[in-house]
Structure 1
Amino acid sequence: MEKANTWPEPISGRSERQPGARVAAIKPARRHLVLNLFVAAATFIAIDFFASGLPLEPRRSLQVLALALVGWTLTSLDDTLVAVTAAVAMTLVVTGKPDSLFSALGNQLIWLLLASFLLASAFKASGVTDRLIALATTRLQSVQALAYALTALLLATAFVVPSTSGRAAMMVPAYAAISEHCGSVRVRRAFALVFPTAVLLSAVASPLGAGAHLIAVDMVRKLSGQEIGYLHWVVLGLPFAVSSAFLSTGIILKIFLTSHERRSKLTIACTNVRPAPLWKRPVWIAAVVTAGWLTEPMHGIDPTILALVGALAAFSPTAGPISFRDALRDADLSLLVFLAATICLADGLVTSGLNEALVAAVFHPLQGAKLPSVVFIALVAAIGLLSHLLIHSRTARVSILLPPALVLAQASNVDPVIVMLTMVSATGLCQTLMVSAKPVALFGRLDENAYGAGDLARLSAVLLPLHFLLIMIFVLIIWPAIQSMLA
């Protein structure tokens, strides 16, 4: 019997309905393309009309940013392709300096991420994840205890692995080992939700937990002049990450499992055992690098240099569980290029004078109106929490939303570091849609018994309001107290 979806047959053997079917399939795609082009053109013209008071360069940079937003939110184009296109456009029509585009790939942030990717590859190849999972399941007495242990493990990986996608991919073998021994589909679904939720929400513990964090640090430095060191971020971000991740894990267990299922026990054998030196050495190297980052104020060694030294040590002939060439292949080149493009884009927004123009045209009147800081922060948190419904990239959300929030913070007399943490922590919650985050899509498609759109909507209906309240508690009480102690 012939397959229904084979390559088209010669003309003499074609069905009369095939051309019509292909035309019917092409028409919606064409309509979608025409609609996207119309929205892009309308956006470009609207900015020219409503922002006609802005000088030419700030207006062009605003148009480039708006068109990038259209590409990120309304089209199926790759996020990195859109970012590179926007960076090239910014170079051509705004800065006119190709060096700013080319030098972005040599930015310190890019090298830091590359070194962290190499360390993550060594960590993953060492098999230490499988050992930890097996050890946890032999000592813990319930599904609930294992879920919290996994949350703690994922929280720890935020200090080593530089992207949520990388951390999610690293934990796929752990989920596979656990899902094989789950007694019911409900338990498997709960664990499938715990993994991406803990990955996404624990990221704020470290400036390396997500690529968006490095962009946020760079934006705060450029727009407010404040420097945020590694230890400074950890002191502020770790308490929120712990509260957010463990609270969300508890909510998942409560919503999707009965009390009997939460108390049931799993037993998992370790299937990927490597010789002790191969799995211990990358762990010690990662621990030394992390300790070096945390103690930077004492020794003054640049974090990127520490990361590069650690990466080189991890691939020495006697320590490396994976070859350096293979580790380079595992590095997320798309993320590195995306970050370089957004760095160039952000530089164009600053050098064009758009930020100063926005302050003069919009935010100075707001400053005169004395917008209450609590209202402003609540607005930033709400926008950040809901932004994943339209902008399906964590880095893109921060790149788009943080600059105006920082500029508005000046008008509202709000600490820019608090504004940055509010935006970063809010944009980290992105579990409502399967397409809103790569870890969510990854674990949702691992097997047919994982979660679906209804499960995500059910979970987000609880997590969104709770995280809004949690962010406001940290903004009003905890972060200011920590800031005062650090001052």
Structure 2
Amino acid sequence: MKSNRLLENQQPSTGTFLSKLPNVTQFIVILLSFLCSFIVFTENIAYDAKVSMIVFIITLALWVCTKLPAAYVALGALLLLILLNGANTDVLYSSFSSEIIWLMIGAFIIGEAFSSSGLSLRMTRVIIHKAKNTNQLLLYLMLSLFPLAIFIPSTSGRAVLMLPIVREIANLVKNKQQREIIALFVPVIILMTTSSTLLGAGSHLIGIEILEKTTGDSISYINWLIWGLPFTLIISFITYFVFKLFFSKELTAAPFDANNINNIYEVKPVSKKEKQTLILLTVLILLWLTEALHGYEIGLITIVGAFIFMLPKYGVITWKKGLQAVSWNLILFVAGATALGKNLVETGAVSWIEQGVFQLIGAFPPIPAWGLVILIILIAITSHIYITSHTTRAVVMVPGILMLSMTLNLEPSSMLFLSLVGMNYCLTFPVSSKALLVYYEHDTMSYRANILLKLNMFLMPIYFILMILFYFTYWNWTGL
């Protein structure tokens, strides 16, 4: 009798770990477990390639299904890869020798110099003095966000940089609705302007790195600017007009008392640090644009610029302040994730997957090239729904897209550009982008998730259609 009771008491706790997970997570775990088992029992794959794929699948599951820090997961994946003899210890050490790592470190420091010099506060003054109503306020905010995409390779970095400006403006706005519009508009435009330059997002740099390792091709800073800037200008203005359509009543009202603004924000002469920062930024941008002429890589130029910004006595910020501005969590994540992607290529795992995809596609009727392009764009734009991290999307999807494009005789660099521009769209939920979360979680000027979702229902189809139009017109005419 006692034994039966013990069994009955134990029955509720005998539920498996899997049964306690949400249904979607259960499906993902089962699917990934099947993939890992299939890889283990496949005979024509080298041991290190098997380990690389299994570790990558486990890492992907942890990124998507858990709240563990992405950098922690990436570092643990590299350590597991080494301990299982799937790679040499060099994969850990060399992960920090990539150009992208040093470029991002330098860019964070330059962004901090821009803020500390006083230029961000001056931007606030200009925006406030010129805006006669909330409609104009949004317009000037949008125009001020475009330059940031040139030298800050992180959407969350630009969101954080604009936070002091937006907070100052929001404190002076009359009502809650107007504050909500501003809090939503800024991160949305940050995301829409991401595709304007090669440095607009860390995912661009990761994609270029994988492209170079996989095919030997690349996309220069100036080529990306030619292709990306017109698209971002048009989609940003479309977004601005969509906001006008949604919030027509609030946008026509005056945002704040002009007399109060004049008392708080007095126009001051341009300081020495501001002039110094503007000159250095201008020189850096010119050097980035003329990379093909002088031969120095963008990463080296950016680090040199950051070094000059931190010069003792003559610099804009101190060495300590510059290092504190770097998002080391993001740096560790990018280093680990990029190393995992490279190892998949070097072990032959990507080649094995490519052969399997080729055989699978051969079993179906041929799909026209334009249909494949539209399919890749659609997958890229919707990828933020199931892979919330911007950088993770690039790490996970770029190798597969490059493999598919080579298999189907499509131009890899073109498909990379299209996929990265598509991945830059991530407006469905606040968790879809760190830039959105920066303002969504703010205490005094947040926005509602349902408003973002409504905007997304308009903007996602527009973004998709505009990309297709650009591909078959402007991008095609300019050599993409």
TM-score by length of 2: 0.88
Q: Deviations over 1:272-313 (max 9, x none)?
A: 969611222112211211111001122222222221221122
Structure 1 residue 188 and structure 2 residue 179: aligned? yes
Superposition pairs for residues 202-281 of structure 1, below 5 Å?
Answer: 202-258=193-249, 261-262=251-252, 264=254, 266=256, 267=258, 268=261, 269-270=264-265, 276-281=271-276
**Does structure 2 conserve the Cα–Cα contact (< 8 Å) formed by 1:158 and 1:205?**
yes
Change (3 A) 1:272 1:55: farther
Alignment-derived partner of residue 379 in structure 1: 375
Superposition pairs for residues 225-374 of structure 1, below 5 Å?
Answer: 225-258=216-249, 261-262=251-252, 264=254, 266=256, 267=258, 268=261, 269-270=264-265, 276-366=271-361, 369-374=365-370
Distance 2:181 2:17 in 1: 37
Alignment-derived partner of residue 52 in structure 1: 42
Change (3 A) 1:35 1:87: farther
Distance 1:53 1:162 in 2: 42
Residue 414 of structure 1: SS of its match in structure 2? coil
- Decide which moves more: 419-428 or 179-188: 179-188
Superposition pairs for residues 321-470 of structure 1, below 5 Å?
Answer: 321-366=316-361, 369-448=365-444, 450-470=446-466
Distance 2:45 2:428 in 1: 40
Structure 1 residue 69 and structure 2 residue 60: aligned? yes
Change (3 A) 1:264 1:235: same
Residue 198 of structure 2: SS of its match in structure 1? coil
Alignment-derived partner of residue 157 in structure 2: 166
Structure 2 unaligned spans of 5+: 1-15
**Does structure 2 conserve the Cα–Cα contact (< 8 Å) formed by 1:205 and 1:240?**
yes
Q: Deviations over 1:385-440 (max 9, x none)?
A: 22212212100011111111111112333222221122111111112112111111
Structure 1 residue 82 and structure 2 residue 73: aligned? yes
Alignment-derived partner of residue 98 in structure 2: 107
Structure 1 residue 132 and structure 2 residue 123: aligned? yes
Q: Deviations over 1:20-49 (max 9, x none)?
A: xxxxxxx99993499969954762343323
Distance 2:51 2:268 in 1: 57
Q: Deviations over 1:105-132 (max 9, x none)?
A: 1222111111111111111111211201
Q: How many residues end up aligned between the 2 structures? A: 458
Shift of 1:325: 0.7
**Does structure 2 conserve the Cα–Cα contact (< 8 Å) formed by 1:398 and 1:424?**
yes
Shift of 1:370: 3.0
Residue 446 of structure 1: SS of its match in structure 2? coil
Change (3 A) 1:94 1:364: farther
**Does structure 1 conserve the Cα–Cα contact (< 8 Å) formed by 2:128 and 2:169?**
no
**Percentage of matched positions with identical amino acids:** 25
Letter in 2 for 1:47: C
Distance 2:24 2:177 in 1: 41
Letter in 2 for 1:131: R
**Does structure 1 conserve the Cα–Cα contact (< 8 Å) formed by 2:218 and 2:413?**
no
Distance 2:185 2:391 in 1: 22
**Does structure 2 conserve the Cα–Cα contact (< 8 Å) formed by 1:236 and 1:479?**
yes
- Decide which moves more: 142-151 or 324-333: 142-151
Letter in 1 for 2:111: A
**Does structure 1 conserve the Cα–Cα contact (< 8 Å) formed by 2:146 and 2:193?**
yes
Shift of 1:318: 4.4
- Decide which moves more: 458-467 or 407-416: 407-416
Change (3 A) 1:41 1:476: same
Distance 1:246 1:367 in 2: 43
**Does structure 1 conserve the Cα–Cα contact (< 8 Å) formed by 2:311 and 2:318?**
no
Shift of 1:337: 0.7
Change (3 A) 1:60 1:371: farther
Letter in 2 for 1:104: S
Distance 1:380 1:91 in 2: 33
Letter in 2 for 1:172: L
Change (3 A) 1:271 1:399: farther
Distance 2:374 2:346 in 1: 30
Distance 2:266 2:351 in 1: 58
CA RMSD of aligned residues (A): 2.8
Shift of 1:66: 1.7
**Does structure 1 conserve the Cα–Cα contact (< 8 Å) formed by 2:113 and 2:316?**
yes
Distance 2:159 2:287 in 1: 25
